[in-house]
Amino acid sequence: MSGLIRYLGGKHRMARHIAERLHATGGDCLVEVFGGSAAVMLHAGYEKRVYNDASDDLVTLFRVLADPERKRLLHRQLRFTPPARRIFQEDYAGYVRNGLSFSHITNPVDRARAVFYRHQYVFGGKVRSGGFSVSTGNRFGIKEVRAYRNTLRRLAHFARFFRETVIECLDYQDCCSRYGRRANCVLYVDPPYVGTENMYSHLFGRADHVFLAELLSNCAASVVLSYYDHPLIRQLYPDARWQWEAVVATRNSQFVKGNKAATTEWIITRRHA
């Protein structure tokens, strides 16, 4: 199943590789600690799954989808909302005034509409700062509009998926503490990468990388991470305890001559004791 929303750092292009490593751990319950767009979970094929993200905006979107009546109302709103820069900018103005959150929109369906709309049309998934994206180079139509309409056609599939998924809104420490003690779980961890922490709405700094590594090194659950290579991350996840595997992927937020720029990411799996 392809993704629901565009998301900075989303892993839909790596999802197959990550899913293989998740299943190899033997864990039968997938827990996405930094759930984001849920791209990995949507591809991984787990019947038992827990989606978590500290963003109440994202969690509201998925909770609305999981509720049949609210999903119907959301679909109607999205279907009749045109692709318009003015709507995009008005949504963003409220988002900025409220400290990079749509929580000022008290109706969950209206809030879910704003979250979905911004993720669909923002450039490169940069929800905090990206502009209205309009790609006119495709002869079959404007890419963002086509993607928006195609996603609406599959909204019922996403709704059924999240109706059967536990949806949490915890910080990473609480999520790792709650589910990390369960040996049948596998934690998939895709934190903000070193140097990109300020691109996300929720605070995560250098000290968090260190504390996260400590949590993951000592939990009973299996652990699979994704990261860019960096001296700090090599220090926190040494080869003696962690297996590193390179995967060539593409950046969601960069274009080079109209094509996605390639980069190397790493899948890091904790070795069995």
- 229-245 pLDDT, tens per residue? 999 999 999 999 999 99
Residues, the chain = 273
Which residues constitute the domain of residue 189? 15-270
pTM over 0.85: yes
Domain annotation covers residue 244: yes
Q: Are strands 29-32 and 259-270 parallel, antiparallel or unpaired?
A: unpaired
Residue 51 within a domain: yes
Q: Decide if 181 is inside a domain.
A: yes
Residue pLDDT, tens place only, 43-55? 999 999 999 999 9
For residue 141, the 8-state DSSP code is: S
Question: Would residue 3 count as lying in a domain?
Answer: no
pLDDT-based confidence at residue 256 (cuts at 50, 70, 90): very low
Q: What share of the chain is helix, strand, coil (3-state, %, to 5)?
A: 45, 20, 40
> How many domains is the chain partitioned into structurally?
1
In a domain, residue 9? The reply is: no
67 is a domain residue: yes
Tell me, what CATH number does 217's domain have? 3.40.50.150
Nearest to 67, CA basis, from 160, 151, 136: 160
For residue 29, what are the β-bridge partners? 48, 185
pLDDT of residue 234: 96
Q: In angstroms, rounded to a whole number, what is the distance separating the alpha carbons of residues 123 and 144? A: 10
Q: What is the pLDDT of residue 222?
A: 97
Per-residue burial over 67-91, b if 16 or more Cβ lie within 10 Å, else e, is beebbebbbebbeeeebeeebbeeb
CA distances from 34 to 174, 190, 264, 265 (A): 12, 6, 20, 17
Give the pLDDT confidence of 71-86 residue by residue, as tens digits. 999 999 999 999 999 9
Residue 6 lies in a domain: no
Q: Is residue 216 part of a domain?
A: yes
